[in-house]
Structures are given as structure tokens and as C-alpha cells.
Structure 1
Amino acid sequence: MSWMENRTEVSYFFLLGLTNDPDLQLPLFITFLFIYTITMVGNQGMILMIVLDSQLHTPMYFFLGNLSLVDFCYSSAVTPTVMTGLLIGRNVMSYNDCATQMFCFNAFASVENFLLASMAYDHYSSVSKPLHYSTTMTTSVCAWLVIGCYILGFLDVSIYTGDAFSLSCESNVFHLICDIPAVMVLSCSGRHINELLLVYAVSFNIFFAIIVIWISYIFIFITILRMRTAAGQHKDVSTCASHFTAVSIFYGTVIFMYLHPSSSHSMDTDKIASVFYTTVIPMLNPVVYSLRNKEIKNVLLKLKNTFIFWKETNL
């Protein structure tokens, strides 16, 4: 059945939401509002610092700025919908809204997948080949890597979003968000081939990025072990620690969510996983990089001192 034929069959979807208990809806709304506020302030603040401070105009922060942009975008594709459902009980989503949410969320998540791999390669070039770093990671190379991440991410998601909506549905009720596994579970038509396509496509994207990351880190750790000074080792480990933390959180959740059969999907488990990778991960990334990064701390301290000076002079 084609996409347009399916469109006439299902015109809207019902979201079950996190809970039906009215006593929990307001506290959950406040929690999501708090998380989303931190996500917006953290990621937009990171982008602003990188743009305004010339000391951060380096390849690593260029990638980090794009990571913050992607985190903000894919959180914004989902979190406001969840908050609206908790606040006013609006748990109905049109067919077009569902398709848009699915595409935007998965596209930016896919871009993040490739960005993390590009950042690993950047760390490898910085640590393992420091003398050639300026000629390896030029402005044009960084720009093309980021452009490639966006092209691959959006192209891949266009394929399997259309594939998910080509199925005819026996129901129009799913859990928290309009995501690919949730829509596929609703299908009454044979979805085995569609599931295989999804698993193969996501597996290729994830494991290609993971292989790039692991190879980069193998060479990084070999280089670190060969260093004679503990100060040099600590500096390079600290440089990679934030990225490695972000990689572990992101891929652990994505592999759990997408790379197991739909027959083993538990509604409650999927809700928890969906909340984590749609709202918590975008909030954690700027926090992780801020706490582990000396340059970001210095910029924050500089901004703090500037604000204190401005406040004292205007009193």
C-alpha cells in the first residue's frame, strides 16, 4: 500500500502519554519544563560561546557547536509535544504532524550519530598526529565533514520514514512519541521486510560510526600509553573523556531502542527509553562538556567576571 493510500486510511494518531494519573501530570510537566529549559539554555549558550569567543574557533568546538545545535533541534521535535499532552491532555496527533515529528527527530538523531564519529576522528588527529593537525583538520575539511553528516542523516531517515508510513495500520494508538518502532508495531500488514530494512539501515549507520570511533580511540590510547609524562597523558585523557561519555550514553540508548525485535518491545520500557534519549541526552551533552572542558570553564569564568564588572559599574 502506498504512502498516500495509507494516508486516507489513518488520518490521526492517539498518544497514550506517560501516565493517566491526573495527580502526576503537573509534576511531570514541571519536570519536563525544567529539563527542556536546561536543554535550551545549555545548548544555545554553548553555541553562543563558541561563536563569540575567538579562542573557541577550533575544529573541536566547531563540531561541538553543531552537536549542540542538533541536540536542541531533536529535543525540540519531541519535548513540547509531550509537555502539551501533560498540561492540557491533548494526546491526538495528525498524520502529517506524526510524519513530521518522526522525520525531524530521527534526522537530527542520525546527524548526531555521524557527528560523534567525526568528533572522534578530530580527537584522533589532535592526539595522535598533533604536528599535522592544522593541515589535516582544515576549515574546508571540517565544513565538508559536517555537511556530510547532515546529508547522510537526512537521506537515511527519508528512506526509512517513508518505509514506516508505507504500512497499513490496524490501530492508531501508540506510546509516547511518533517514532519508527512505535508506528511499525501498529501495522496489520506484513512488516517483516520493513523491520529488516530498518534494522539493517540503523545497524549500518550505528556500527559504521562506532567502528570509526573505536578505531580512533584505539590509536588515541596507544599514543597516550607511549607518552612519557603523566601531565601529557592526563591532558589527552581529559580531552577525550567528555566525548567518550557522550558516545556511551547515546549509543547505549539507541542500540537498546532500535536493534531488538518489535515483538520484544515493552510499552513501559519503551516509554522510559524514549524519555531518556529524547529529553535527557540533549540536556546532558552541554553539561558533560562544560564540566570536563577547561576552555569552556575559562569562557564561563570570563563571562561571569564581565557580568560582575558591568553590574558594579552600573550601580
Structure 2
Amino acid sequence: MTEENDTLVTEIILVGLSYYPETQTAFFWAVLIVYIITLIGNSLIVMLIVVDRQLHTPMYFFLSNLSFVDICYSSSCAPQVLVRGFAKKATISLNSCLAQGYVSIFLGITECLLLAVMAYDRFVAICNPLQYSLIMSGKVCTQLAAFSWVSALLLTMIRESVQPKHFCRNVINHFMCELQAVLKLACSHTSFSQLVNLATALLALVAPFIFIVVTYVLIGQVVLHTCSAQGRNKALSTCSSHLAVVSIFYGTAMSMYVRPQSKSFSDKDKLISMFYVFITPVLNPLIYSLRNKDVQGALKRTIMRRVLH
């Protein structure tokens, strides 16, 4: 096929659940409810951390970054899924589809790196508490957050620079513009771009995940040897909750981006992508923040100030 014919693909058809029309209504409401909870929960976390001075600490600074990423991450996909949920032939322009895919990749990598930074913050707080304020100064926290955002942008730009530009097909078996699914439509051989994608996935997914696991193992060793039984149970419960969310996010993302790529996108792949796009962002505020007594106290103080004034 010639390059002239390759460029004829100007719009993408998203299959979604058109093969299963009986499930479209339930899927629409499920996505809508999860998206609303994600927006409310993460927006509440960001607002509380901004307005309550008692939450102006390194841990909550990173949590506010994570919540902001989750808002943007879900918003980059959910509206598109909802708008096209009932269409028999949902279409989107090729440029818009690619843009949405790269934005999602950027935000996903940012979340990966922020989760690793948050694990390091907890490691310093628990394993080196006397020097915590010195190590995790305001300047260092800003630098770590900036490192996460800038590194994610650079890795996304590297991926974009080597991706194929011409596409022969225009049908994606997905609800949204998952970049892995879009690139399967390419006309040319994609072995080099797949190699680059794998390298960036190792840097953005595997390396941070290993770092987080090692960090929590070291935290667990310190907790077991130094804390009381009550403190030990509390710390281990918190760590296990964090690791559960981390495992869902990294596990599903790695199963999508690190494994050998097939020629087509299956229904199983669509389900897997739902976890790191929708489930993790709605769980993060519940696991990391809203169960936290400091956040609950900040919420009560904020409500009281509104009532009194």
C-alpha cells in the first residue's frame, strides 16, 4: 500500500460494546458513577490540602499531586467513553485519538513516578524520622514532584517521536483511544517503536514498581523491630493497603505495556485497561487520604469554618 493511501485514514472507529448492546447501559452508569466519585474524592483531597495549613507537609504535598493527576487521568478518558457509549459506530478523528492516547500515557507515567516518590517519602519518615524534615525539605519535595512531571513528559515525547505516522486500518476494539490499540493499525513495521515503547515501559513501570516493593520491605523490617504491637499493626495495615492499590495499577499496566504485543486488541485487554484508567484513580483517595485521621480532621475543620462564617 502506498503512502498516499496510508494517509487516507483520518478518523478512528471505536468498537466499544457495540457487539454487546445489552451491556451498554450498565457500563455507561458504572463509568459515570466511578468518574463522579473520582472527581469528588480527588478534588476534595486537593482542596483540603490547599486550604488546611496542618496538611502542608511533604506527604500531603505529594498526595495533592497524585489526586490532581488522577482527576486529569480519568478526565482524559471518561468523557470520551460516556459520549460514545451508545453509538453504533463511535468515531473520533485520528489526530484527536492520538492526542488523547499520548495525554493518557503522560499522566500514567506521572502517576507511576509519583507513587515511587511517595514510597520514598514514607521510607524516610519511618526509617529516618529524626532527619525527615531536613531530607524532605520544601525544596526537595518540589524537585521530586517536578522530576516526576518532567520525566513523564520526556518519556512521552520519546515514545511519540518513534511511533508510526501512517495507518492502514481505522477500527479499534476498545472504548477509548488506548495507544497500544491505535498503534496496531500502523501500515509499517513497528519493531523499532515497540522496542522503544518497551524500554520506556521498563523505566516508567518496572523500575518504580521494584523500587516501591523494596522500599516497603525495608519499612516493614523497621516497623517489625521498633514499633509496639498496636503501632506495628497500624503501619502494616497502611502499607498493605498502599501496596494493594500499587499492585492493581502497576500489575494491570505492566500486563498491557511490558508483555509481547499481539496483532489485535482483545476484550480481555479492554477490561485490563479499565483498572488502571478508572479503578485506581477512584481507590487512591479512599486508601491514601480519606481514611486518614489528619484528612478527616481537616475536613471537619473546613466544614466548621464554613458553618461559623
- The normalised TM-score by structure 1 is 0.89
Task: Give the fraction of aligned pairs with identical amino acids, expressed as a percent.
Answer: 37
1:145 to partner: Cα distance: 0.2
**Retained in 2: the 8 A contact 1:102–1:161?**
no
**Which residue is equivalent to 2:275?**
276
Alignment map for 1:54-73 (pairs within 5 Å)? 54-73=53-72
The answer to whether residue 173 in structure 2 is matched with residue 156 in structure 1 is no
Find the residue that maps to 1:263 and give its secondary structure.
coil
Alpha-carbon distance in structure 2 between the residues aligned to 1:90 and 1:50 = 43
The 1:150/1:90 distance shift into structure 2, 3 A limit, reads farther
Letter of the aligned partner of 2:67 in structure 1? S
Partner of 1:15: 14
Distance in 2 of aligned mates of 1:14 and 1:74: 22
Q: Deviations over 1:253-312 (max 9, x none)?
A: 1111111122276510111112222122211111222454221233334455567x56xx
CA–CA separation in structure 2 for the residues paired with 1:9 and 1:69: 38
Residue pairs, 1:84-99, within 5 angstroms: 84-87=83-86, 91-99=90-98
- Rounded Cα–Cα distance in structure 2 between residues aligned with 1:182 and 1:241: 33
Cα separation, 2, equivalents of 1:189 and 1:296: 52
Equivalent residue letter for 2:50? V
Q: How far is 1:98 from its partner?
A: 1.1
User: Which residue does the alignment assign to 2:144?
Assistant: 145
Q: Distance in 2 between matches of 1:302 and 1:171?
A: 56
Please tell me whether the aligned partners of residues 181 and 265 of structure 2 are also in contact (alpha carbons under 8 angstroms): no
CA gap of 1:261–1:51, structure 2 versus 1, over 3 A, is same
Q: Which residue of 1 aligns with 2:171?
A: 173
Tell me the SS of whatever aligns to 2:188: coil
Q: Which amino acid aligns with 1:254?
A: A
Residue 232 of structure 2 corresponds to residue 233 of structure 1: yes
- 1:117 corresponds to which residue? 116
Is 1:76 the counterpart of 2:85? The answer is no
Q: 2:111 and 2:71 mapped to 1: Cα distance?
A: 11
Question: Kindly tell me: are residues 193 and 72 of structure 1, through their superposed partners in 2, closer, same or farther at Cα, counting changes over 3 Å?
Answer: same
> Would the aligned equivalents of 1:107 and 1:157 in 2 still touch at CA under 8 Å?
yes
Partner of 1:192: 191
Aligned length: 307
Aligned residue type for 2:161: G
CA distance in 1, matches of 2:76, 2:224: 42
- Structure 2 vs 1, CA of residues 306 and 241 (structure 1 numbering), >3 Å: closer, same or farther? farther
Point out where structure 1 has 5 or more consecutive residues left out of the alignment.
Answer: none
Counterparts of 1:69 and 1:63, CA distance in 2: 10
For the residues of structure 2 that align with 1:115 and 1:248, how far apart are their CA atoms? 15
**In the superposition, relative to structure 1, how do residues 266 and 172 fare at CA in structure 2: closer, same or farther (>3 Å)?**
closer
Letter in 1 for 2:37: I
Relative to 1, partners in 2 of residues 1:52 and 1:177: Cα closer, same or farther, differing over 3 Å?
same
Q: Which secondary structure state, in structure 2, belongs to the residue aligned with residue 106 of structure 1?
A: helix
Cα 1:246–1:21 change in 2 (3 A) is closer
Give the root-mean-square deviation of aligned CA atoms: 2.5
Write out per-residue CA displacement over residues 6-29 of structure 1, whole angstroms, 9 at most, x where no aligned residue: 983421111111334444333322
Amino acid across the alignment from 1:94: S
Stretch deviating more after TM superposition (281-290 or 6-15): 6-15
> After the TM superposition, which residues 164-313 of structure 1 pair with which residues of structure 2 at under 5 Å, given as runs?
164=163, 166-174=164-172, 175-263=174-262, 266-290=265-289, 292-303=291-302
Helix, strand or coil at the partner of 1:101 = helix
**1:106-152 deviation per Cα after TM superposition (whole angstroms, max 9, x unaligned):** 10100001001100100000000000001000000000000000000
Conserved in 2, the CA contact under 8 Å of 1:75 and 1:282?
yes
Q: Specify whether residues 5 and 155 from structure 1 end up closer, same or farther in structure 2 by C-alpha distance, changes over 3 A only.
A: farther
Q: How many Å separate the matches in 2 of 1:234 and 1:30?
A: 38
Determine if contact 1:74/1:278 at 8 Å carries over to the other structure. Answer: yes
In structure 1, C-alpha distance between the alignment counterparts of 2:128 and 2:181, rounded to whole Å: 45
| Cα distance in 2 for residues equivalent to 1:55 and 1:70 | 22
Structure 1 match to 2:100:
101
